[in-house]
Amino acid sequence: MSINKYKWWIIGGLTFVVLATATGIVIHSRRKNKGVSKNKLKNPKPKSVLLIGDSVSAIHDYIHNRPINSTYSALVKKELEPQGIDVDVLAKGAQTTQWMLDNLPSKLKEKKFDRIYIYGGINDAWNMSVKPEVPFANIQKMVDLGNEHGADVFVVLGYKIDNMMDYRKMKPNNKYTFKSEDYIPYINEYKQFQSQITSKIKNANFMPVFDLNGQTNDGIHPNAQGHKDLATIFVNSITE
């Protein structure tokens, strides 16, 4: 089976990775960041933030050429920019970490970012043509680029898989998957990826796995409430 073709069909680019243990940042709830320590950050009060990702983070629908206003990235921009914090987004649906890495250098040339969040990897994990070590190598290169840029780089670990990735909500495409249970191996593949991020990536901050409490309609992407909750997590991590 070509998981490459399958992957583009099912997720259109969800991905994850992100924030806090290396700098002592710990998120204790979806609503507040308690016990935040920013003494190790180069830019503890960021004025410019770059969010990197796939469909979960995208703020533009390139197929229909229209803005997306419901994702967490769009909500973060809406809340923080009136406070004087510039929020830029490098994200596109159905893209792997290779696309993110390829497009990051030109983004870094545009402006100086105080903080960078990298939220990717699921498209890589669900693509059998991508070797397991590739997303880790790509993320590490992005971390290194961000550090060279003078930014504090956060790798987003993503949501708690067990109560979000529900194969029973995933619709078979009758070409690569014929029943909902066919998605289970791919969910397990992503779990493996997520569990190794903190041991594979060096010189980065990590945003711990966050719990969106099953706020999904398709078993993969956060729904409207899930994106609102996710936006709260990011806003708190940036401002507290």
Sequence-ordered list of residues with C-beta below 8 angstroms from that of 211, at least 6 positions apart, any chain: 30, 159, 160, 163
Structural domains of the chain, ranges and CATH numbers in brackets: 3-41+51-239 (3.40.50.1110)
Once rounded to an integer, what is the mean pLDDT over residues 8-18?
A: 40
pLDDT surpassing 90 at residue 222: yes
Q: What is the mean pLDDT of the segment spanning 69-74?
A: 98
The predicted-structure confidence for 19-66, as pLDDT tens digits, reads as follows: 333 333 333 333 333 333 344 899 999 999 999 999 999 999 998 999
- pLDDT, averaged across the chain: 85
Asked whether the predicted pLDDT for residue 18 surpasses 60, the reply is no
Q: Which of 29-38, 99-108, 219-228 shows the lowest mean pLDDT across its residues?
A: 29-38
* Torsion, CA 58, CA 60, CA 64, CA 65, rounded to 10: -150
Structure tokens at 24: 């002592």
The predicted structure's pLDDT at residue 30: 36
Alpha helices per DSSP H over the chain: 3-11, 72-80, 97-110, 122-125, 133-148, 184-200, 224-239
| Average of per-residue pLDDT across 171-195 | 85
DSSP character for 209? Answer: P
Is residue 226 within 8 Å of 211, Cβ to Cβ?
no
Using DSSP, state whether 118 is helix, strand or coil: strand
| Residue range 126-145, pLDDT digits in tens | 787 899 999 999 999 999 99
Burial of 83 (0-12, 13-18, 19+ CB in 10 A): exposed
